[in-house]
Structure 1
């Protein structure tokens, strides 16, 4: 999933940043560092980018936890863990303990089942890619044929006709 996972709003983000700071320890992390960490966990560069994108008209869309399948929910939690690990120099187990305490998501992920979910989705993703690739190749077939018969000039005309 290439999209950004949005937190519900500014107040929620500030509240969760305070909780995150409390769980990690106020001496280890300040409020704005915790807020920026939380924003990075959701895929933003930091608080300023969250504020900018959420202030757009219409606002940047939110992907709610209940809209995510198990694979993408696990992907979201992996991002959370990666950001916590990098910021705090801790391991996955410590990050998972922090996430359980702060509850940054309305759904919980069972880490014991993540590898089987990933394997099942990976097969589905490969099948989906193969289907899409067939369509892409069918669309490119005229350009490929033109390239074989007429060289670069034929390719340029094919692209010009496509626009």
Structure 2
């Protein structure tokens, strides 16, 4: 980002009090997985972005738990280490079955194979769907952005 950032970007005054406009090619509103990955991909293409997230801390409750083969292909194409990413997810041997249970610690009443995670899928794609909790994926991408000079992230800011 430019060294001539308005003071509110650095947290010394609010955006409402600032008379200075922010000079950035792309404003990204929201810090969920899609927008974090967007900021990452734009940076790899040499495009600066400013991402604002209304929550000051990452929400710990997952809203999603799997990355599709195409999502993993995009991560790989833009240089994210998909092997390291898979290591933070569920082990493939543990993720092969979908279990139906009476409650989280209850009796198993049924089981079905999970979506195509067998090696034969690799005939069609270089990546296999993988069970990775959304907060873990968000943190993985955010870690990759922490020292990225093309991306500025501010938490606790929202558009109104």
TM-score computed with the length of structure 2 as normaliser:
0.27
Kindly indicate which of the two structures has a greater share of residues assigned to strand: 2
Higher RCO (C-alpha 8 Å, min separation 6): 2
Kindly indicate which of the two structures has a greater share of residues assigned to helix: 1
TM-score computed with the length of structure 1 as normaliser:
0.26
* Structure with the greater alpha carbon radius of gyration: 1
